[in-house]
């Protein structure tokens, strides 16, 4: 099934990453989300982009995540009050841990608003040419900001 990595750039500097994949035509698996620059909610933007792609572009019915860090769990698992499936009967392919899920209905009623508020803006797809040009050549950060 297709995998969907996304990279976030600011003036061509690589600042964020998110990836996931389709498990089947209904379930979208969230894999990793990472911010490479701190304090700008870049990870929140990447998560929004990943979930938006799952629900709005691919038409997935559920989005399955597991949490690799307290920050991730606090931001999204707890932050959007995601329900979970019984463990270990259902476990996530990323390390076999608990699956937290968002349904399409919950995405529409609650999660989009939470993410929009956290990001402070909405996604824009009609991007001016100069913005595309400014991000034409990828620069890899020289230092890790962890």
In the three-class reduction of DSSP (H, G, I as helix; E, B as strand; rest coil), residue 21 is classed as: strand
Distance CA(113)–CA(70), nearest Å, equals 22
Q: Which is nearer to ligand COA, 132 or 140 (CB)?
A: 140
Minimum Å distance from CB 146 to ligand COA? 7
Place of tokens 């824009």: 124
Q: Are 55 and 93 in contact (CB under 8 A)?
A: no
Can residue 98 be called a binding residue for ligand COA (CB under 6 A)?
A: no
Q: Which is nearer to ligand COA, 3 or 71 (CB)?
A: 71
Can residue 69 be called a binding residue for ligand COA (CB under 6 A)?
A: yes
Q: Which is nearer to ligand COA, 29 or 35 (CB)?
A: 35
Stretch that binds ligand COA, among 71-79, 103-111, 125-133, 136-144 (CB under 6 A): 71-79
74-106 core/surface letters (b: 16 or more CB in 10 A; e: else): ebbbeebebebeeeeeeebebeebbbbbbbbeb
Binding site for ligand COA (CB under 6 A): 33-35, 38-39, 41-44, 67-69, 71-72, 75
């Amino acid at each position: 099934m297709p995998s969907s990595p996304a990279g976030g750039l600011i003036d061509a500097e690589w600042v964020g990453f998110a990836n996931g994949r389709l498990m089947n035509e209904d379930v979208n698996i969230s894999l990793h989300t990472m911010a490479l620059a701190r304090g700008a909610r870049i990870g929140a933007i990447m998560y929004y982009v990943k979930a938006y792609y799952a629900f709005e572009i691919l038409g997935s019915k559920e989005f399955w995540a597991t949490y690799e860090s307290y920050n991730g769990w606090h931001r999204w698992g707890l932050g959007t009050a995601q329900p979970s499936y019984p463990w270990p009967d259902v476990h996530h392919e990323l390390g076999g841990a608990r699956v937290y899920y968002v349904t399409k209905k919950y995405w529409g009623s609650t999660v989009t608003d939470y993410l929009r508020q956290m990001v402070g803006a909405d996604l824009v797809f009609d991007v001016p040419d100069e913005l595309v040009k400014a991000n034409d050549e990828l620069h890899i950060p020289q230092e890790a900001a962890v």
